[in-house]
């Protein structure tokens, strides 16, 4: 077997994850196969299994990759912006990017597969922790009212956004959804005037 340089190995792993991310979003978890991912990459299926023992292991890596993408979206959206402006930019950026390629399959998976449900719940908790940490920083800077519970806000914002995303997928007007997002974020984070 050929020896791989660690840097090369990591680059191949990243390419597998990025490709799997796209395919999971296009086809859903159930319709994605390791063979399909290998074909998309132009490699053999054993190459994929060299990096990931199971499709579930690859799915976990994809979930982490997506969480990092969302974290980057958050940081970029709020960079050099006040909280409310950043929230508006975040809505537009993520809505545009996700509306094209995300499906509600993760909800359906959790009703059929207990192991995948545990993976998704663990990933969701890590995502909410990241959001709560970000909100705590903004709260410390005075951009969010001091009496707000950042963990509750993180869960509320995530649930609101997921619901609005589903509405957008069903064809509701993005302008109306943007108004709901901006008004709710303002109402939950700003002191009553």
Domains along the chain with CATH numbers:
63-189 (1.10.357)
Low-confidence stretches of the chain (pLDDT beneath 50): 1, 102
106-151 residue pLDDT tens: 556 666 778 777 887 888 899 899 999 999 999 999 999 999 999 9
Q: What is the predicted pLDDT for the residue at 88? A: 93
**For residue 97, what is the enclosing H or E element?**
helix 83-99
Task: Give the pLDDT score at 183.
Answer: 95
For residues 102 and 4, what is the distance between their CA atoms, to the nearest angstrom? Answer: 34
| Count of Cβ atoms closer than 10 Å to residue 141 Cβ | 10
Contacts of 148 (CB under 8 A, 6+ apart): 135, 139, 188, 189
d(CA 14, CA 32): 18
- CA nearest 23: which of 64, 62, 75? 62
Residue pair 65/121 in contact by the 8 Å Cβ criterion: no
Cα 153 from chain centroid?
Answer: 17
| pLDDT of amino acid 10 | 87
Q: What angle (nearest 5°) sits at the alpha carbon of residue 41, between those of residues 38 and 47?
A: 45
Given a contact cutoff of 8 angstroms between Cβ atoms, the answer to whether 119 and 106 are in contact is no
pTM, rounded to two decimals: 0.77
């Amino acid at each position: 077997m050929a020896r791989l340089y660690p840097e090369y190995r990591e680059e191949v792993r990243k390419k597998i994850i990025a490709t799997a991310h796209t395919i999971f979003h296009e086809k859903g978890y159930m319709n994605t196969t390791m063979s399909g991912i290998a074909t998309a990459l132009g490699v053999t299926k054993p190459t994929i299994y060299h990096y990931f023992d199971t499709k579930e292991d690859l799915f976990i890596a994809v979930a982490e990759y997506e969480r990092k993408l969302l974290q980057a979206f958050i940081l970029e959206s709020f960079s050099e912006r006040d909280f409310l402006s950043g929230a508006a930019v975040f809505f537009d950026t993520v809505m545009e990017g996700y509306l094209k390629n995300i499906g509600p399959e993760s909800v359906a998976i959790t009703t059929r597969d207990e192991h995948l449900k545990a993976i998704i719940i663990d990933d969701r908790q890590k995502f909410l922790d990241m959001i709560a940490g970000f909100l705590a920083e903004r709260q410390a800077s005075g951009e969010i009212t001091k009496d707000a519970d950042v963990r509750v806000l993180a869960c509320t914002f995530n649930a609101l956004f997921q619901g609005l995303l589903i509405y957008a997928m069903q064809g509701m007007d993005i302008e109306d959804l943007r108004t709901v997002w901006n008004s709710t974020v303002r109402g939950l984070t700003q002191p009553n005037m």
